[in-house]
Amino acid sequence: MTNFQVLHTDPRYPARLGLLMTAHGKVETPAFMPVGTCGAVKGITPRQLKETGADIILANTYHLLLRPGIDAVEKLGGLHKFMAWDKPIITDSGGYQIFSLSPLTKVDDNGVEFASHIDGAKTYLTADTVINAQNRFGADIITCLDQCTPFPVETTELRRAVQRTILWAKQAKQVHSNSSQLLFAIVQGGIDQKLRTYCVSELVKLDFDGYAIGGMSVGEGYDNMIRTVVHTTQLLPVDKPRYLMGVGTPADIISAVKAGVDMFDCVLPTRNGRNAFAFTENGPVRMRNTAHINATEPIERGCDCCCCRDFSRGTIRHFFNSDEMLGPILVSLHNLRFYQRLMAKIRQTIKADEFANWADEQLRKYEVFDSLKKVSGK
């Protein structure tokens, strides 16, 4: 039995409705995966996370290896017990940290040496050790070590990163030893379409359970990102899930779904929530603004999250200005629920053959938001 089924495809765009089967349950796609880098989504309990509608969450292998360490996670019952999450979990291999922690890394074909951002201790990751660690953590979906490059980057360095990503994927495929886990390869290549094509062609030969598009949202800009995503997704197998890593804004997600992407993760809902930035269907709302001092309405009318059900904008603004931790928690919860509502709407419109018109309308709306933001200087 296949681990992924395409249930319906939009008549106009490659957007598709799917079902991903894992050891800890099914995931309806397109899906958004909240980020619990170190084993927890910041400030949010697992029960609250379920109430937002999340079916799958992400944790990071590099960070969990540094602390508490793989032995501790195993002794505490494995990653699902550790995170108190009985639904699917995906782990990122640590390839993004090659980019984000670049001053602390040394990379060659054998792997990556990290100087820990915590205490400076040396940590060495290889394709083998990353897979072995993820096998032991016990996540439902695991990923191959890859090399994420910055933007812009020299062509020589980009080619080298693609070759390493392919080499490490081959090694990962050989050592992967937990048949209950799905193994995803990661496509790299920056915005170079020829390198993306080459990377896909080599990875597809290895027949992975799914394919992630990495190396996006690193400074290349919206147009370059979408152009690259459109190019890459049309090369990937139709019967395998496609995962766009670390992206993005609501507009990014809608555009990527149009291109045929099935899975997303991003820190924006919670990171922005902690910084008093709320997502709504009518554009962003900055909760520290003085306009909300006496505002009795919720962040978003019609939203069914606990924040919008129980608290006014004025109260939430007060929490932020008084450094009450409830403020960041509430806006994070609202944002997480907003993203799950967005994904549910996407799935609903694909199923009803209404996605194309809905998506185009939404993207025009976000263009208006961006234009107003530029005019106001905010």
Phi, psi of 156 (to 5 degrees): -60, -45
Which CATH number characterizes residue 28's domain?
3.20.20.105
Clarify whether residues 103 and 242 are in a common domain. Answer: yes
Q: What percent of the chain has a predicted confidence (pLDDT) above 90?
A: 90
- Where in the sequence numbering do the catalytic residues fall? 92, 265
Cα 144 → chain centroid: 15
Q: What is the mean pLDDT of the segment spanning 103-130?
A: 92
Residue 378 has pLDDT above 80, yes or no: no
Q: Could you give the CA distance from residue 213 to residue 238 in angstroms, rounded to a whole number? A: 15
**What are the residues facing 114 on neighbouring strands?**
105, 123
Token pair for 164: 């390493």
Average pLDDT, the chain: 95
Q: What is the mean pLDDT of the segment spanning 120-137?
A: 95
Task: Specify the pLDDT at position 260.
Answer: 98
Type of residue at 355: F
Q: How does residue 2 score in pLDDT terms, banded at 50, 70 and 90?
A: confident
Domain count, the chain: 2
Last residue of a domain, one of 266, 301, 328: 266
What is the SS3 assignment for 233? Answer: helix
Task: Specify the pLDDT at position 377.
Answer: 41
Q: How does residue 372 score in pLDDT terms, banded at 50, 70 and 90?
A: low
Clarify whether residues 86 and 235 are in a common domain. Answer: yes
Q: How does residue 368 score in pLDDT terms, banded at 50, 70 and 90?
A: confident
Clarify whether residues 243 and 217 are in a common domain. Answer: yes
The answer to whether 186 and 143 are in contact (CB under 8 A) is: yes
Clarify whether residues 260 and 282 are in a common domain. Answer: no
Clarify whether residues 294 and 339 are in a common domain. Answer: yes
Q: How does residue 373 score in pLDDT terms, banded at 50, 70 and 90?
A: low
Clarify whether residues 261 and 278 are in a common domain. Answer: no
Token pair for 160: 């080298």
Across 99-209, the runs of DSSP E, i.e. the strands, are 105-108, 111-115, 122-125, 141-143, 182-187
Q: How does residue 94 score in pLDDT terms, banded at 50, 70 and 90?
A: confident
Mind listing the pLDDT tens digit for each residue in 186-225?
Answer: 999 999 999 999 999 999 999 999 999 999 999 999 999 9
Q: Could you give the CA distance from residue 57 to residue 34 in angstroms, rounded to a whole number? A: 5
Q: Could you give the CA distance from residue 225 to residue 187 in angstroms, rounded to a whole number? A: 14
Mind listing the pLDDT tens digit for each residue in 263-305?
Answer: 999 999 999 999 999 999 999 999 999 999 999 999 999 999 9
Q: Which residues does 369 contact at the CB level (< 8 Å), separation at least 6?
A: 283, 284
Q: What percent of the chain has a predicted confidence (pLDDT) above 70?
A: 97
Residue 367 has pLDDT above 90, yes or no: no
Token pair for 301: 């009318």
Clarify whether residues 121 and 241 are in a common domain. Answer: yes
Q: Which carries the bigger pLDDT value, residue 96 or residue 238? A: 238
Q: Identify the residue whose tokens are 């990937």.
A: 236
The answer to whether 330 and 362 are in contact (CB under 8 A) is: no
Clarify whether residues 203 and 261 are in a common domain. Answer: yes
Task: Specify the pLDDT at position 375.
Answer: 43
Clarify whether residues 175 and 73 are in a common domain. Answer: yes
Instruction: Show the domain range for 53.
Output: 4-266
Residue 44 has pLDDT above 80, yes or no: yes
What is the number of alpha carbons within 13 Å of residue 78 lying toward its C-beta?
11
Last residue of a domain, one of 266, 292, 309: 266
Clarify whether residues 362 and 322 are in a common domain. Answer: yes
Task: Specify the pLDDT at position 125.
Answer: 92
Task: Specify the pLDDT at position 104.
Answer: 87
Last residue of a domain, one of 266, 293, 316: 266
What is the SS3 assignment for 195? Answer: helix
Phi, psi of 187 (to 5 degrees): -90, 125
Type of residue at 73: V
Q: What is the DSSP string of 6-33?
A: EEEE-SSSS-EEEEEEETTEEEEESEEE
pTM of structure: 0.96
Residue 29 has pLDDT above 60, yes or no: yes
**What are the residues facing 131 on neighbouring strands?**
none
Clarify whether residues 218 and 360 are in a common domain. Answer: no
In this predicted structure, which of 85-99, 299-313, 331-345 has the lowest mean pLDDT?
85-99
Clarify whether residues 8 and 132 are in a common domain. Answer: yes
